[in-house]
């Protein structure tokens, strides 16, 4: 059974954490999702903006993904954060560190809602989660699975210092580019070990 195999090889990063830890950066607060965050995610996933991450999707599929991202914290100690702008509390997107069953490694993912691109929010949030993974969680390496036509996410992964890993395993049923984020403090982090993948 695929779920049993997935659970058997996946490193459980859960301690006693039941919700996402709050991470603050200069301009952002990464926080645990609340029920009211669903509407913003639904609007994004129902639009063409989601075309590189499995969308557009109907409300049922978005709800399943949203609740999976929240519930993953309880099971594995990883999941998604809502990304709020500190200056006014507006939610600008989501960032995640997660490994759904179809993905061979732990993935760092990001989305921004319409109108919030071009301010560096995705990079700031992704850097904070990457540093949390390598520092607080002790993860050796993480990946970002990116559609080959998603030029903006490819550029962001490269700005984050990730490199294209042509030897990495692909998510089941999803041809994609795999960008590997190595821990700068660990020279062995490019070995391909790790855990992750989204929608």
Query: Is the residue at 110 inside a domain?
Result: yes
Query: Is the residue at 181 inside a domain?
Result: no
Average pLDDT of the residues in 49-71? 90
Query: Is the residue at 133 inside a domain?
Result: yes
Q: Which of 26-40, 148-162, 164-178 is predicted with the least confidence, judged by mean pLDDT?
A: 164-178
Query: Is the residue at 188 inside a domain?
Result: no
Q: Dihedral (C-alpha) 162, 55, 132, 70: value to the nearest 10 degrees? A: -160
Q: What is the pLDDT of residue 13?
A: 57
Answer yes or no: are the C-beta atoms of 142 and 178 closer than 8 Å.
no
Question: What's the total number of domains in the chain?
Answer: 1
| pLDDT, tens only, 136-154 | 999 999 999 999 999 999 9
DSSP 63: H
Q: pTM here?
A: 0.84
Q: Is the pLDDT of residue 8 over 70?
A: no
């Amino acid at each position: 059974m695929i779920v049993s195999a997935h659970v058997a090889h996946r490193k459980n990063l859960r301690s006693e954490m039941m919700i996402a830890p709050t991470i603050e950066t200069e301009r952002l607060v990464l926080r645990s999702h609340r029920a009211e965050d669903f509407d913003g995610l639904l609007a994004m996933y129902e639009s063409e903006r989601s075309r590189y991450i499995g969308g557009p999707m109907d409300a049922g599929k978005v709800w399943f993904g949203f609740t999976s991202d929240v519930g993953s914290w309880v099971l594995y100690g990883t999941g998604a954060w809502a990304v709020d702008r500190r200056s006014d509390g507006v939610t600008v997107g989501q960032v995640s560190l997660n490994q759904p069953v179809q993905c061979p490694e732990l993935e760092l993912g990001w989305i921004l809602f319409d109108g919030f691109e071009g301010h560096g929010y995705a990079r700031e949030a992704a850097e904070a989660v990457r540093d949390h993974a390598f520092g607080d969680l002790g993860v050796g390496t993480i990946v970002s699975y990116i559609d080959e036509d998603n030029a903006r996410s490819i550029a962001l992964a490269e700005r984050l210092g990730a490199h294209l890993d042509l030897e990495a395993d692909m998510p089941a049923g999803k041809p994609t580019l795999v960008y590997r984020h190595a821990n700068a403090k660990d020279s062995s982090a490019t070995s391909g070990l790790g855990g992750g993948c989204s929608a």
